[in-house]
Amino acid sequence: MSSLAAEAVVLDMDGVLIDTEPVWRAAETDVLAGLGIALSESDVLDSTGQPVEELIPIWRQRSPSGGAGPGAALTGASLTGASLTGASLTDAEVAGLVIDQVIAHVKAEGQPMPGVTAAIALVERCGLRLAIASSSPRRLIDAVCDRLGLGGIDVRCSAMDEARGKPAPDVYLTAARRLGVAPASCLAVEDSLNGLVSARTAGMICVAVPDPLLAADPRYGAADLVLRSLADLDDAALRRLGVPVPG
């Protein structure tokens, strides 16, 4: 592979920097159960990497009453401590309940994924700039950066601020623009198939670190490099991508 004129690394967050994908799946299942909507494992797995605000109206249409409509009454006991019995909530408010559960987990017990600290140190040693391009809202991105001590990553982009979420390329294109570099000069790191499509459509080189529950999917073959975890992102891996690594 010819040398890549890499100037930046753009990181997905959930499942790449922090192990929140199982937390998202549990929170989505929990909150939607309060609307009388039972999500299957495939529902939550297939939507990995997509903004939750885009998913709520789709999932609400699954129930005979449309999830009781945009002003649904949440009566499920799963909404612990929320005092929401009889409350009418919009799709955005339902999404907010899911996000609140994930943030609470991050603040209480969030841990970095294996290899995160070493991978970020390697990227910085190579002189590459860093950004986050996540489907999560900015308040969750900030909570994760606070928890993991990633205050040095100041370019933080949320797909919730875009017209289209992943798998559309919008959030990755915004990250490149805010970094001031061309998308082709960015190396993206993703765990989900939706994120992989997003980064590739933006024109970025892409490293996939698949979610273990999705790793057997052959579509990960579209990535330029597939790793078991960020612990495998070392000098040799970057050189395979054509990224110059200082001796």
Q: What is the DSSP string of 118-164?
A: HHHHHHHHTT-EEEEEESS-HHHHHHHHHHHT-TT---EEEGGGSSS
Which of 42-56, 170-184, 228-242 bottoms out in mean pLDDT, i.e. has the lowest? 42-56
**Domain extent at residue 99:** 21-109
Judged by DSSP in three states, 85 sits in coil
Q: Which residue has the higher pLDDT, 84 or 62?
A: 62
Residues 220, 186: one domain?
yes
Average pLDDT over residues 109-124: 95
- In total, how many domains does the chain have? 2
CA neighbor of 228 nearest in space, from 211, 206, 246: 211
Among 74, 89, 109, residue at a domain's last position: 109
User: 145 and 32 share a domain?
Assistant: no
Choosing from 68, 94, 109, the residue where a domain stops is 109
Name every residue whose Cβ is closer than 8 Å to that of residue 24 and which is 6 or more positions away in sequence. Answer: 14, 44, 48, 52, 98, 102
In the numeric block, which tokens belong to residue 109? 């017990």
Residue 38 in domain: yes
Whether 246 maps to a domain, the answer reads: no
Q: For position 80, what pLDDT does the model report?
A: 40
Residue 208 φ then ψ, to 5°: -105, 135
Same domain, 131 and 183: yes
Does residue 42 sit in the same domain as residue 76? yes
**Distance, CA of 66 to CA of 72 (rounded, Å):** 9
Q: Are residues 130 and 51 in the same domain?
A: no
Same structural domain for residues 144 and 90? no
How many other C-beta atoms are found inside a 10 Å radius of the C-beta of residue 65? Answer: 12
Does residue 31 carry a pLDDT above 50?
yes
Q: Where are the beta strands (DSSP E) in the chain?
A: 8-11, 72-74, 87-89, 129-134, 156-158, 186-190, 205-208, 225-226
100 and 129 together in one domain: no
- Whether residue 2 lies inside any domain: the answer is no
For residue 29, the model assigns a pLDDT of 93
The average pLDDT across 151-165 equals 95
End position of a domain, from candidates 109, 140, 165: 109
State yes or no: pLDDT of 83 exceeds 60. no
Residues 176 and 232 in one domain: yes
Q: Residue 63's pLDDT is what?
A: 60
78/199 same-domain check? no
Query: Quick one: 216 and 132 in the same domain?
Result: yes
Tell me the pTM.
0.82
As a whole number of angstroms, the distance between CA 207 and CA 222 comes to 10
Asked if the structure places residue 234 within a domain, the reply is yes
Same domain, 195 and 225: yes
Q: Map tokens 């601020």 to a residue.
A: 161
Average pLDDT over the chain reads: 87
The answer as to whether 75 is a domain residue is: yes
Query: Which residues are identified as catalytic?
Result: 12, 14
Looking at the chain, how many residues does it have? 247
The amino acid occupying position 155 is V
91 and 28 co-located in one domain: yes
